[in-house]
Every structure is written in C-alpha cells, then in structure tokens.
C-alpha cells in the first residue's frame, strides 16, 4: 500500500528516505532484505499477516540511560526545553520514522505522548492537545493506532503499586490516568488497549495483603472495561504478562497466570493477552510457550516483539533477530489463526552504545526482516512438512473407542484401571523430537 510520508517543518532523519524492499542480495543497511509488504504468503500479504507497530517509548523517549550511567543518545527532538514543545517535536520525529519505515501501526503510553501536568486536569488537557495533533498526522499519513496504554509505573506516587496500591488515593489517580488514556485511544481509533502492571505486585510479603491487592486489580479492570465500553471502545483490552522487573513479583506473572486470573474474575470476554517475548523468557518459558498457552485459551490478543539476552535474565528489550525463535513463534500464531486485531509491536530499543540516528531504523529493519523471513518459513512448514499431522497422530488413541469415551467423560477411574489390567504394558512409542527439530531446520 502506498503511504504518504510525514515530514514536519524540521526533518529529523535527513538522508533517510522511505525504506524499500531490495532483496537479500542488497548490501544497503537501510533496505529490507525479506520484508516486502505487498508480497502474498498464503491468503494474505506480509503487511496483513505481520501488522507491525513501532513503540513510542523506547524509540522516542528512551535515551540510553542505565542504572550506572546517564543518557548516551542525544537526539534532536529532545532539544526544546519546554515540555509541550518537546512533545510536539517528538511527535513530528515519531511520525516521520513510522512513515519512512512503512509500518502500518504505532503504540503509545499517555506520558510518552504528553507530559504530566501539575494537576489531573492539566495532565488531561496536555494529552488531549497531543491527541488532536496525532489524529491530524494519522489522517495525513494513514497510520493507525494498534494500542494505547497509561504509564502507571513511572511517577513516584506509584512506587507501592497503581491499581494494587495499599493507599486508595493512589488508586484514584491510576483510574484518572486510565480514563484519559482510554479517551485518547478511542479518539485515535485504537484497535486495542493494554494494561501492563510493572508496579502491580510486591516487594515483600511481610507488608502486603496479596489477596486484597489482586481483588483490587480485578475491580479496577472491570471499571476500566465498563468505562471503555461506555465511550464506544469496541476493541480488545489486553493484559501483558511479566513476572518481575521493576517489582520483585508481579501478579501478571506469565500467560497461564493471567489466563487463570481473567477467567476467575470473569474478564475473559473482554480481555486477551499481549504476549512479550522477553517477558516470557524472564518467566522461565520460551516465547512460543506463552503464545501457545494464549492460543489454546482462545486469548491471544497481540504481541510485543523483542528478545532478551541468553546470558542474563533481564528485560533487555533487544530487537528480535533470532530466526529460529521467530519461526517457532509464528508456527504457533499461524496455527492459531493469525494475529487478527493484534499486531507485532517492537517493544525494543537499540543498545545504549548505538548512538547514530540511523541505528533506530536499522534495528527496526532487522526485526521486520526477521519476522518476514520467519513468516515464509513457518508458512511452508505449516503447509508442507507434515509436522501438524504427525503431532495429531500421536493422539490417535483418543480418536475412537475407549480413548474417545475417556475424552467424553464416560470412563471412571475404576473402568480405566480395568482397561490397564486387561491390556497389559503399553508399547513404547518414540516421541521423535529430533525428527521434528531436523525438519524445522530443513526449512530455514
Ligand atoms: C515493560 C513493557 C511495557 C509495556 C507497556 O516491560 O513491556 O513497555 O509493553 O506498558
Ligand atoms: Co511490552
């Protein structure tokens, strides 16, 4: 799809034009080698399958600081000293990058887009002003909002939690922020709305009533859902699991924990999961595992695409370049029916040592190429390899006879015992893991 570029009064990425597909023989670092947006894979184009989004926070608000050192990335949109002027400059830079990169979607937190004011009303007004500016740029470029969210973790008032704070006064401030962020998401036609609870957890059990806090979180989500629906939000609410960091323990630990929570508190009709690769690995799982659990529950909403570092356990939010990992992820997504109204949001940042403006483009190009290539591979495996059929065949003993009766709930424990006693020791059947693994490699 041809899109118009947004270049504001000042061009923030001079010398970088629209990123084009040049194929794998190209030696141009600012070109796609595998992502050809209009290329059809199966029944959809790459753009329609992958639904890429750029995140506002890492890309335009993160500046490379870490706990041991200050900012390393000094970018031109940070020059205005006055916060609202800086917000406008950041937005111009953001839409310039979105459109030059050729992604259809973006995602933001309220505080990425507009600065916090001195009062709830001033914060709301700041956000409303920037939402008007974003709406204008969306109209001009065709860019769409994959999801909005509220930053309920950065301000010091949230140090003991937001919706799960032991102080009700803090919970009301979290509600005010979510209300305004939902207004913003609806005004910008957002297709989803995300809750990530970085401070929704605890540092010590000794000072925490976990039962009450988790019930407060559920109540908060019910009220947010009700408000969203009342203002016409038709999209999906998403909870993004993460086990820890910044809290020692977070209540949305992993996909299965969130699925249980949503079902227990009767939220699964409106809420799904936003699965992030580096959060799954931080929980001791693979990315594909958390995706599979979500697909199995019918609750895969969207994806935050990134990767951790295998040598440490942090949320390093690196750009995804591991093809094998991306193939595994897309095998699960394709078998689950695709991303639907979700997308692949690059919740990823270039390293603090990557200080050139072009590095931001190069990081995203690498991530997009990785998933484009993985899509082609995963689609070929799904269609031709026989893996899915072979996996189903492992369960053939449940397809008829006593196995099917068991699945229907018709055999009690004593009946099962009698079947075992009559049939004797089962044959040893190979799991064939190496066969499956070798086949995946054959398609890479
Ligand atoms: C933090 C994280 C967030 C959420 C949105 O680890 O992933 O950026 O995606 O709040
Ligand atoms: Co995320």
Structural domain count, the chain: 2
Instruction: Kindly indicate the confidence band of residue 395, based on its pLDDT and cuts at 50, 70 and 90.
Output: very high
Say yes or no: 270 and 399 in one domain: no
pLDDT at 430 over 80: yes
Instruction: Kindly indicate the confidence band of residue 316, based on its pLDDT and cuts at 50, 70 and 90.
Output: very high
Out of 360, 387, 414, pick the residue that ends a domain. Answer: 387
pLDDT digit string, tens, across residues 84-119: 999 999 999 999 999 999 999 999 999 999 999 999
Q: Atom 4, ligand 1: which residue's CA is nearest?
A: 196
Query: In this structure, is residue 291 part of a structural domain?
Result: yes
Say yes or no: 304 and 399 in one domain: no
Catalytic, 112? Answer yes
**Cα-based angle 97, 101, 105 (whole degrees, multiple of 5):** 85
pLDDT digit string, tens, across residues 172-223: 999 999 999 999 999 999 999 999 999 999 999 999 999 999 999 999 999 9
**Average pLDDT, rounded, for the chain:** 97
Catalytic, 412? Answer no
Identify whether the C-beta of residue 212 lies closer than 8 Å to the C-beta of residue 165.
no
Say yes or no: 318 and 417 in one domain: no
Q: How confident is the model over 19-35, as a mean pLDDT?
A: 98
Query: In this structure, is residue 11 part of a structural domain?
Result: no
Say yes or no: 381 and 397 in one domain: no
| Closest ligand 1 atom to Cα of 151 | 10
pLDDT at 3 over 80: no
Say yes or no: 261 and 143 in one domain: yes
Say yes or no: 352 and 403 in one domain: no
Q: How confident is the model over 255-271, as a mean pLDDT?
A: 98
| Beta bridge pairs of residue 41 | 44
Say yes or no: 283 and 248 in one domain: yes
Strands 44-45 and 40-41 turn out to be antiparallel
State the Cα–Cα distance between residues 106 and 146, nearest whole angstrom: 6
Query: In this structure, is residue 6 part of a structural domain?
Result: no
- For 210-276, the DSSP string reads HHHHHHHHHHHHHHHHHHHHHTT--SEEEE---S-SSSSEESS-SHHHHHHHHHHTT-TTTEEEEEE
Say yes or no: 276 and 409 in one domain: no
Q: Could you tell which of 112, 252, 304, 349 is best to mutate to test the pocket of ligand 1, judged by most ligand atoms within 8 Å of the CB?
A: 304
Say yes or no: 263 and 407 in one domain: no
User: Which CATH number belongs to the domain containing residue 339 in this structure?
Assistant: 3.20.20.150
Say yes or no: 244 and 206 in one domain: yes
Query: In this structure, is residue 10 part of a structural domain?
Result: no
pLDDT at 382 over 60: yes
Residues with CB under 5 A from ligand 2 (ion): 276, 304, 347
Query: In this structure, is residue 13 part of a structural domain?
Result: no
Tell me, what's the pLDDT at 2?
A: 56
> Domain range for residue 431?
389-443
Q: And the tokens for 352?
A: 């603090």
State the Cα–Cα distance between residues 360 and 350, nearest whole angstrom: 6
Query: In this structure, is residue 1 part of a structural domain?
Result: no
Out of 349, 366, 387, pick the residue that ends a domain. Answer: 387
Out of 387, 408, 424, pick the residue that ends a domain. Answer: 387
Tell me, what's the pLDDT at 390?
A: 96
Tell me, what's the pLDDT at 4?
A: 85
**Cα-based angle 365, 366, 372 (whole degrees, multiple of 5):** 85
Q: What percent of the chain has pLDDT over 70?
A: 100
Say yes or no: 399 and 349 in one domain: no
Query: In this structure, is residue 352 part of a structural domain?
Result: yes
Task: Give the 3-state DSSP-derived string for 2-57, with helices as H, strands as E and coil as C.
Answer: CCCCCCCCCCCCCCCCCCEECCCCCCCCCEECCCCCCCEECCEEHHHHHCEEEEHH
Give me the catalytic one of 110, 112, 317, 369.
Answer: 112
pTM here?
0.97
Q: How confident is the model over 269-298, as a mean pLDDT?
A: 98
State the Cα–Cα distance between residues 221 and 182, nearest whole angstrom: 12
pLDDT digit string, tens, across residues 132-175: 999 999 999 999 999 999 999 999 999 999 999 999 999 999 99
Q: Could you tell which of 195, 276, 346 is best to mutate to test the pocket of ligand 1, judged by most ligand atoms within 8 Å of the CB?
A: 276
Strand, helix or coil at 194?
Answer: strand
Q: How buried is 333 (Cβ within 10 angstroms: 0-12 exposed, 13-18 middle, 19+ buried)?
A: buried
Say yes or no: 283 and 394 in one domain: no
Does ligand 1 come within 6 angstroms of the Cβ of 304?
Answer: yes
Instruction: Kindly indicate the confidence band of residue 313, based on its pLDDT and cuts at 50, 70 and 90.
Output: confident
Query: In this structure, is residue 4 part of a structural domain?
Result: no
């Amino acid at each position: 799809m041809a899109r118009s570029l947004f270049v504001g009064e000042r061009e923030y990425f001079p010398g970088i034009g629209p990123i084009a597909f040049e194929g794998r023989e190209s030696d141009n670092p600012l070109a796609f080698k595998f992502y050809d947006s209009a290329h059809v894979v199966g029944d959809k184009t790459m753009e329609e399958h992958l639904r890429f989004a750029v995140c506002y926070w890492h890309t335009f608000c993160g500046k490379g600081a870490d706990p041991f050192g200050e900012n390393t990335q000094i970018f031109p949109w940070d020059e205005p000293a006055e916060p609202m002027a800086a917000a406008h400059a950041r937005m111009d830079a953001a839409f310039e990058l979105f459109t030059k990169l050729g992604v259809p979607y973006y995602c933001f937190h309220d505080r990425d887009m507009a600065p916090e004011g001195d009062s709830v009303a001033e914060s709301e007004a700041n956000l409303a002003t920037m939402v008007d500016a974003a709406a204008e740029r969306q109209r001009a470029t065709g860019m769409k909002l994959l999801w909005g969210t509220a930053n309920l973790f950065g301000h010091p008032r949230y140090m003991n939690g937001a919706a799960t704070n032991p102080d009700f006064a803090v919970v009301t401030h979290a509600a005010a922020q979510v209300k305004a962020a939902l207004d913003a998401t609806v005004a910008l036609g957002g297709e989803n709305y995300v809750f990530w609870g970085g401070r929704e957890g605890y540092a010590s059990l000794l000072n925490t009533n976990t039962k009450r806090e988790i019930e407060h979180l559920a109540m908060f989500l019910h009220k947010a859902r009700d408000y969203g629906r009342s203002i016409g939000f038709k999209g999906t609410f998403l909870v993004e699991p993460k086990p820890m960091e910044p809290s020692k323990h977070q209540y949305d630990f992993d996909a299965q924990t969130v699925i249980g929570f949503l079902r227990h508190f009767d939220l699964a009709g409106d809420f799904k999961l936003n699965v992030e690769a580096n959060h799954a690995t931080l929980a001791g799982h693979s990315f594909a595992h958390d995706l599979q659990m979500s697909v199995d529950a019918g609750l895969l909403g969207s994806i935050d695409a990134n990767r951790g570092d295998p040598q440490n356990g942090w949320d390093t939010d690196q750009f995804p370049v591991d093809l094998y990992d991306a193939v595994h992820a897309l095998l699960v997504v394709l078998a689950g029916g695709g991303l639907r109204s979700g997308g692949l949001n690059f919740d990823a940042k270039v390293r603090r040592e990557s200080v050139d403006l072009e590095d931001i483009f190069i990081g995203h190009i690498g991530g997009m190429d990785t998933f484009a290539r993985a899509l082609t591979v995963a689609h070929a495996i799904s269609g031709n390899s026989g893996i899915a059929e072979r996996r189903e065949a492992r369960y053939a003993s449940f397809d008829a006879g006593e196995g099917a009766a068991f699945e229907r709930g018709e055999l009690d424990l004593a009946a099962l015992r009698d079947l075992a006693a009559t049939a004797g020791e089962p044959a040893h059947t190979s799991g064939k893991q190496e066969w499956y693994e070798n086949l995946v490699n054959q398609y890479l």
